[in-house]
Structure 1
Amino acid sequence: METTTNDHLPAPGAPAVPSRKRADLLRFAAVLGALLLLNFLGQRLFFRLDLTEEKRYTMAPATKKLLSDLKEPVTITVYLTGDFPPAFRRLEQGVRETLNEFKVYGGANLNYIFIDPSAGSTEANRNKFYQTLFKKGLKPTNLGATENGKRVEKIIFPWAVVSVGGKEKNVLLLRGSQTAAPDVRLNQSIEGLEYELASTVRNLVPGRRKIIGVVQGHGELTNAEAGDILGAWQQQYDVYRVNLSQMPDLRALDAIVVAQPKSPYSEAEKFKLDQFITQGGRALFFVDALRVDLDSVSRNGVALATPYNLNLDDLLFKYGLRLNQNLVLDLNSGQIPLVTGMEGNKPKIEPMPWQLYPLINKFSAHPITRNLDAVYLKFAGNLDTVKAVGVRKTALMTTSRYTRVLPAPVPINFNDARLEPNPKLYQNGFQPVAYLLEGQFKSLFANRTRPGTMQYQPEKNAQAKPSKILVISDGDFIRSEIDQKTGRPLRLGFDRLANTEFANRELVLNATDYLLDDTGLIAVRGKQITLRPLDKVRLAEERRRWQILNLGAPLVILGLFGALRAWRRKRRYAGFAA
């Protein structure tokens, strides 16, 4: 008699092999399906999470729109790469992260490459490539940092070149105050990367160019004297000379510039300025309250500073600002060359501190002046604010606390530069020398007749479109020094005596951008990244402990995970062995 056995069936209480295997297969299929679904959704839905406190990886809406609207390819070539110490790699990494974000929104129309200038196989090849960069205007920088308690210096090329449609523009990536600590300056540079790169792309992308009118006819700065800033403006805007007496109005302009006038404006000309500003036009005033004629210095080195009569005081007063008739002396100052003796039969000329040339390094946190280096003023007065309803006033620049204010008329003796200043006389504190005015400006001519006519200006014209005005109490602020050999203007802010370039040019360009840019891109300059330095003393004491922890902890965790997995596997399949 044939009998059957149940050897092929699991013993009572043993795990059901087919059901277990089926459950594993179903679990695997579910995980695989979920991964495929996530991949499918990830290709069609875009989102990014920025978990940093200051949102350092989040692009501003203006930057996203600019990059998303690109109509032609943009290529960014970065020369900031190579074998850097950690501090310098942080700046390089910041550039890479910014460009990665640019690529997300720019898509196929945004490309970037990194080139190491020092990667040549021979020294001759490297020097040849360096010369190529020099000809492009890319100058190297010797930047110092402290690594492990040691001073480290590295020659770097902190530049990028943005190319759009055959046009190129250089971008300096290393910004910030030169007087700041190296780590702080690097951090300031990282904060400004988005704005520097995005604004350069915007300037090169074809679009409607704003129009700037530079007022003439009152002894204002000539094209040669303001040559550098005029050239910088022309790269982004259409710039024209404007004679107010020959124009019926200024409606064709987007902004006007009043740069160191020396003779008064007529009432009719002032009316045109007023109507332009109250109807939303933007204005930049670089004006002196006192006349200092250096050509009339006496043999004893003495000149007299006397008040100008520009007929603009009531206009600025109506808008909320008063240009005081004085001069500010500051112990934090520039220098002038003075003859201090003779060397043989030649005079000996030395630079001497000159308190009437204030150096300004105290700025507001406004995007125009954030992370700005020092600027240079000459014969500047101070500014006061007065009540103007609906106008917001921001003091962009102030002097140091060690100042002295002299009311007009002011005798100026250049021989005083030879004397040691008396600190007890410099007790007037911080003095504002630049203001930004924003809001709806009431017309000076409201409820009055139009100059030269009997046409009445009703009160409704007093309230108008929002506008912005920049006022700096130094007419020389945008004056460039002239190269005596070539007769061409030097870069604005460059001081031959100190062989230093101050930030006058950058401030003016930032201010113009803020006044005229309707996209809000200039607000990106307000981005802030907080430095969180480690405790260097504690780091040195606990260095070995943290190295052992960083090396040993992953190995211990990996070993525990392996042991746990082997134990679970053994327990799970123990029934099969029986």
Structure 2
Amino acid sequence: MSTRLSLSLGGLALVVLLFLGVNLLAGLGLSGARVDLTAEKLYTLSPGTKSLLGNVKEPLAFRFVFSDKLTAGVPALKTYAQRVRDLLGEFARQSKGKIALEFVDPEPFSDDEDEAVKAGLQGASLDIASGRQVYFGLVAKNAGGRQEVIPFFETEKERFLEYDLARIVHSLAETKKPIVGLVGDMPLEFGPGGMMAAMRGQSRPYAVMEQLRQFFDIKTVRGDAQAIDDDVTVLIVAQPQTLSESMLYAIDQYVLKGGKALVFVDPLAEWATGSPEMGMMPLGIGLPPGAFTMLGAWGVDMEKGKFVADRELAVPVSTGDLPGMRRRVVAYPAWMTLTDAQRSKDDVVTARLGNLNMGTAGAFTKKEGAKITFTPLLTSSDQGQLLNVDAIGFRPDPEAVFAALKPGGERQVLAVRISGTVATAFPDGPPKPKDEEKKDGEKKDEATKEEAPKRPHLAASSQPANLILVGDSDFLDDRFWVREQDFLGRRMLVPFAGNGDFVVNAVDNLTGSGELIGLRGRSSGQRPFEALDRLRRQAGERFLAEEQALQKRLTDTQRKLDELKGKEKPGAAQTLSDEEKQALDGFRAEMLKTRKELRAVQHNLNRDIERVGAWLKFLNIGLVPILVIAGALGLAYWRRKKAVA
């Protein structure tokens, strides 16, 4: 007995020592150790985010505001809030002390709530009668007092939670607005009329410029520039239709040295003149050979003189505005409205956009053997077809374009993200100036020449290229996405499509570091019971046919019953024959029987689901305690048996 007692005491002492030892080790060297056991590694930051956080130089203050007490009865929101809190904690840890994290649970009508509202957080009402607001947002500041805010963490955006937080860190770490360069034939800064019309007050900048200026500094690249300035973070190339070889070379070298670009190339630039509604031929046709050569060097092909037409995405347009023509609305397959099904859900640029409109857009394909990552952002439906621009004709006829489409089609890539190693489009070096350009160059002041020292020619990218290509410059035209309204004498732009948001998203994404650009959407933290969902679908399919047959029988019986009952006249001695009365009783009995069978089918529909649900609850709640108890009993039995032996 004393031996067994001493063994028990020794074992207990060993357990205590082991417990203390583990805690001591954890306190000394394992305090930051964590294991992510989730299937999708939800709590493991991507290498790009870790690199970004490791390079933060100035202190940042993150204030996470969540109404914890008020959301006690909303488990879904509390679960997501814990996910956000955990991720913020990981951000703070990876920043090596540069991010100071504060958690605030604002009481209703308190100073904390006032500060949250002042900072730009949005409240949500769970109880309208009480007037209490629930807050779930983030206020982040840098040492200079500049602020970034997430007004409310929406569960629908959980897949991009890491990206949104990383973008805030990158934005606050920057000391000034990124510079966006503009080059191309589309006069974005002056509007459809161009510079001369703008100087006369007859043209305004395209609406997309107003959105870009809110976030970036805009810099126009001169048409005779020999190089793109180093301070340009992102270059927007809007329809390089008449750009010189020297300018195309400047763009080429800018990309090869690691510059990021958003490029709009269009087989038919309708903004240049007319539209099918005006009954005029678009004159902005074609791109210079150098533009196609440059696309090829980037690992991309675009079929010359071909645009995408799609019967499924066709935009309704009004035709017949010319004298003697009857006005009517028809579907125009050359113009497309892209919906959720045509947008990439995994890329931050396109995942959260509304509908987008495009007109006579070109299509991209990956060049065979290209060493690039080719990621489609926007596509047509599976009914997309390539038509020759000649199909538009001098006076575009939407019905004729529709008739030119053949049955079938395939998904065409309308916008694509390119990354990786690319080559120069000028393997022989800078293009030699033409005679006229040489004469102009000889007239330039020597001081100007000294300001632009000759740069070494790059034959291949010195850093991985980061480009977004869009096969449509009309995408930027106001009439495709924004409507102008007069509000109290002031001009107000009302978007009806997400084209402007796409441009801002693309530029914002490209202005980020390489780590930020590489981030993609992550899986949601919501873990649905997939087996249960599959069972619901199977049960629904199994019982649907039977339910529909019974429902039809019930409807037919009810109709026959109503026909017989219609022959009955209140107060009459007898209006139905004995056979009809017997049939009436039979129909009533049949109706009751059918209703009973229908209820049984609906009950059976849920029975299997409830059974599996109960089994899953048992596995999640009861199985582990049972296994622990069984293990303890088994261990006790084994020890007793060993002691007796």
The answer to whether the superposition gives a TM-score over 0.5 is: yes
Alignment of 1:246-395 (within 5 A): 246=225, 249-260=228-239, 264-293=242-271, 296=274, 301-311=278-288, 312-319=291-298, 320-322=300-302, 324-333=304-313, 355=333, 356-360=335-339, 361-363=341-343, 367-368=347-348, 371-385=351-365, 386-387=367-368, 389-395=370-376
1:520 aligns with 2:515: yes
Q: Is the 8 A contact 1:217 1:243 kept in 2?
A: no
Q: Please, which of 40, 50, 55 is the counterpart of residue 64 of structure 1?
A: 50
Counterpart CA distance in 2 for 1:415 and 1:353 is 10
In structure 1, the residue matched to 2:610 is 540
Give the deviation of 1:257 after TM superposition.
1.0
In structure 2, the residue matched to 1:96 is 85
Q: Which amino acid aligns with 1:257?
A: I
Counterpart CA distance in 1 for 2:268 and 2:381 is 21
Give the deviation of 1:376 after TM superposition.
0.8
Counterpart CA distance in 1 for 2:521 and 2:113 is 36
Give the deviation of 1:359 after TM superposition.
0.8
Q: Is the 8 A contact 1:307 1:408 kept in 2?
A: no
Give the deviation of 1:514 after TM superposition.
5.4
1:441 aligned counterpart, secondary structure: coil
Q: Which amino acid aligns with 1:292?
A: E
Counterpart CA distance in 1 for 2:618 and 2:51 is 48
Deviates more, 1:470-479 or 1:214-223: 214-223
In structure 1, the residue matched to 2:432 is 451
Residue deviations 1:475-522, cap 9 Å, x none?
14345636533666758xx31xxxxx63762x4455445545445133
Give the deviation of 1:47 after TM superposition.
1.5
1:219 aligns with 2:187: yes
2:414 aligned counterpart, secondary structure: strand
1:524 aligned counterpart, secondary structure: coil
Say if 1:478 and 1:84 are closer, same or farther in 2 by CA, change over 3 A: farther
Stretches of structure 1 that go unaligned for 5 or more consecutive residues are 1-13, 143-154, 176-185, 342-348, 496-500
Q: Which amino acid aligns with 1:259?
A: A
Question: How many positions carry a matched residue from both structures?
Answer: 507
Give the deviation of 1:379 after TM superposition.
0.8
1:170 aligned counterpart, secondary structure: strand
Say if 1:50 and 1:159 are closer, same or farther in 2 by CA, change over 3 A: same
Residue deviations 1:148-175, cap 9 Å, x none?
xxxxxxx987643333343222336667
Q: Please, which of 148, 158, 174 is the counterpart of residue 190 of structure 1?
A: 158
2:248 aligned counterpart, secondary structure: helix
In structure 1, the residue matched to 2:61 is 74
1:541 aligned counterpart, secondary structure: helix
Say if 1:329 and 1:135 are closer, same or farther in 2 by CA, change over 3 A: farther
Q: Is the 8 A contact 1:357 1:377 kept in 2?
A: yes
Q: Which amino acid aligns with 1:288?
A: D
Residue deviations 1:195-231, cap 9 Å, x none?
1112112211245875431226763454553224413
In structure 1, the residue matched to 2:140 is 162
2:148 aligned counterpart, secondary structure: strand
1:462 aligns with 2:459: yes
Say if 1:279 and 1:483 are closer, same or farther in 2 by CA, change over 3 A: same
Q: Please, which of 397, 413, 417 is the counterpart of residue 436 of structure 1?
A: 417
Which has a greater percent of strand? 1
Give the deviation of 1:88 after TM superposition.
4.4
Say if 1:267 and 1:523 are closer, same or farther in 2 by CA, change over 3 A: closer
Q: Is the 8 A contact 1:192 1:525 kept in 2?
A: yes
Identity %: 19
Q: Which amino acid aligns with 1:435?
A: V
Give the deviation of 1:398 after TM superposition.
1.2
C-alpha RMSD over aligned residues: 5.0
1:520 aligned counterpart, secondary structure: helix
Say if 1:381 and 1:31 are closer, same or farther in 2 by CA, change over 3 A: same
Say if 1:260 and 1:229 are closer, same or farther in 2 by CA, change over 3 A: farther
Say if 1:412 and 1:204 are closer, same or farther in 2 by CA, change over 3 A: farther
Give the deviation of 1:433 after TM superposition.
0.8
Stretches of structure 2 that go unaligned for 5 or more consecutive residues are 127-132, 191-204, 322-326, 439-453, 537-607
Could you tell me the TM-score, scaled by structure 2's length? Answer: 0.63
Give the deviation of 1:49 after TM superposition.
0.9
Residue deviations 1:46-75, cap 9 Å, x none?
321112222111112332344454632422
Could you tell me the TM-score, scaled by structure 1's length? Answer: 0.69
